[in-house]
Amino acid sequence: MRVALLGLYPVRPDWILGGEEAVIAMLAGRLSRDPTLDLHVITFRGAEAGDRVEKRPGLTVHRLAQPALGRLTWHRVEIRRLHRLLRSLQPDVVHGHGSQVYAAAAVRSGFPAVVTVHGIMAREARTLQVWWRRMARTLDGWYERAALRDVQDLIAISPYVLEAYPWLRPARVHCIENPVEDLFFETVRQEEPARLLCPARVIPRKGILFLLQALPPLLREFPALQLRIAGQAQAMPTYFEACQSFIARQGLGRHVRFLDNLSLAEMAEEYARCTLVVLPSQQETAPVVIGEAMAVGVPVVATRVGGVPHMVQEGVTGLLVDYGDVDSLAVALRRLLSDSALRQAMGRQARAQAEQRFRLSLVAERTKQVYEDINSSRTTARSCPTPSVLRGENRAGSQQRSSQPHRWDAFDSAGFAL
C-alpha cells in the first residue's frame, strides 16, 4: 500500500521544531520499517534551494520549494504543487497533518485521505498580542475552517479537537493520541532536587513570563531552585527580551537557564534529572512534551487549557492550575517540590498510563489500521481502543452514526486509552 504523508518534516533529525514535526518524524520512521508500506513524505520544509528527493530505507522524502505569499493567495500554488506530485505518485491513502495547506491538499486531492489536526489556529490567534501576528493567525483560522470543512476521516489526538471545532462533521473519527519516542520509555530517572524543567519554545502562548512570575515566592523556601527552559529561545526575540528583562529585574539570573533546542538524547537527560516538568501554556492541543515526561515517569504541573486535562490526570499524574493564576502555580510547584513521596507516586502512575497510550509501536499500528480501513472500505473505522467517537452528516444532511454512542464520557478524564 502506497501512503503519502503530508506535513512539516524536520530538516535534521536532531533539530525538531514543535510537536507536529516530532509526530510526523516518529510516524514516518516507524512506518518505514513495514515492508507492506511504500511510504512517501511530502513537505515544504528545508527546500529553500529547490526541490529535492531524499531516498531512505523504506521511505522517500520529497522536499518542495515553497512559493511566497502562500497565506495571501489562499495557498493555491502550494496545493497545485502538492496535487501534481500526488498525481504522479498515485497513493492509496493521503495523510495530511495540520489544519492548513497539507490538510486542504489531502482532502481535495481526489485520493482516499485522512487528516490529523495538531494545532487550533483560531484559538492560537487569541493568544497573540502583536496585531500583525494576530491578524496572520486569524487568517489561518479562517483558512482552517475551509480546509477541514469536507474532512471525512479525522484522526483526533485528543477529545479537545472536536470540542474546539463544533462545526466539524467528519463521517469517521479515529482516536489516536500522539506517540512518544522509545528513548523516553527507556530513560532511567536520576532526579535532582529543586530542578524544574519547562520544555517549551519561548513564545507568549507557552506562558514563560507567567512561570517566571511564580519563581520569587518559591525561592524563599527553595533557595537552590533552578528553572531550565528547553526550547527555541529566539522564536520571538522581543518576547525573549521581555523574559530576560524580568529575570534581571527580579534577580533571577542564576536560577533560570535557557537551553534552546536540544537533541532527543539531551531532552531525555533533562527529563531524567528534573524534579518535575512544568508547562504553563495559554493554549495547547495535545503536547508531545507531556507524553514524554509521563513516559520517563515525571510528574507534571500544567495549566488547565485545551487538551491538557485529557492528558494530565489531576492529583494522579500531576497538578493542574488556571492560566495566569500565579499564586496557584506557585502553590502547585511548592506542593510537589516538597513532597518526594507524592512525586514518586505520580511518576509511577504517569509511566503506567504512558505505556498504554503513547508507545510508538501502538500508535503506528493503529495509524496503519486507519490506512487499511480507508483503503479497503470508507464505511468503517476500527482504530479506537475504547468505544468509538464517530459522528457525521452526509451532504443530504442525514446522520451517519456508528452503533457506538457519541459521548465523551466513554473516555477516562485523563485520556483516550484508559
Mean pLDDT of 352-380: 89
250-265 pLDDT, tens digit per residue, is: 999 999 999 999 999 9
pTM of the model: 0.86
From the list 270, 315, 264, 310, the residue with the least C-alpha distance to 287 is 310
139-192 pLDDT, tens digit per residue, is: 877 888 888 889 999 999 999 998 988 888 898 999 999 999 999 999 999 999
92 contact partners, CB below 8 Å, separation of at least 6: 1, 2, 3, 111, 112, 371, 375
One-letter amino acid at 334 equals R
Q: How confident is the model at residue 404 (pLDDT cuts 50, 70, 90)?
A: very low
Write out the three cell numbers for 270: 533533562
Mean pLDDT of 270-275: 98
For residues 347 and 167, give the distance between their C-alpha atoms in angstroms, rounded to a whole number. 37
* Residue-level pLDDT at 418: 37
* Residue-level pLDDT at 401: 30
For residues 389 and 162, give the distance between their C-alpha atoms in angstroms, rounded to a whole number. 10
What are the strands of the beta sheet with 300-303, ordered from one edge? 256-258, 226-229, 195-198, 276-279, 300-303, 318-321
Domains located in the chain, CATH noted:
2-179+360-410 (3.40.50.2000), 183-357 (3.40.50.2000)
Mean pLDDT of 127-139: 77
For residues 119 and 22, give the distance between their C-alpha atoms in angstroms, rounded to a whole number. 13
Over 50: is that where the pLDDT of 111 sits?
yes
For residues 108 and 115, give the distance between their C-alpha atoms in angstroms, rounded to a whole number. 11
18 contact partners, CB below 8 Å, separation of at least 6: 8, 201
* Residue-level pLDDT at 377: 61
* Residue-level pLDDT at 403: 26
* Residue-level pLDDT at 412: 40
Instruction: Tell the burial category of 327 from Cβ atoms under 10 Å away from its Cβ (0-12, 13-18, 19+).
Output: exposed
Let me know: does 320 contact 297? Beta carbons within 8 Å.
Answer: no
286-302 pLDDT, tens digit per residue, is: 999 999 999 999 999 99
For residues 76 and 97, give the distance between their C-alpha atoms in angstroms, rounded to a whole number. 17
Percentage of the chain modeled with pLDDT above 70: 90
Give the least confident one: 26-30, 326-330, 397-401, 408-412.
397-401
31-71 pLDDT, tens digit per residue, is: 999 999 999 999 998 877 789 999 999 999 999 998 887 77
374-400 pLDDT, tens digit per residue, is: 998 654 433 444 433 333 333 333 333
DSSP 198: E
311-320 pLDDT, tens digit per residue, is: 999 999 999 9
Tell me phi and psi for residue 209, to 5 degrees.
-65, -40
**C-beta atoms surrounding 394 within 10 Å:** 11
For residues 251 and 212, give the distance between their C-alpha atoms in angstroms, rounded to a whole number. 11
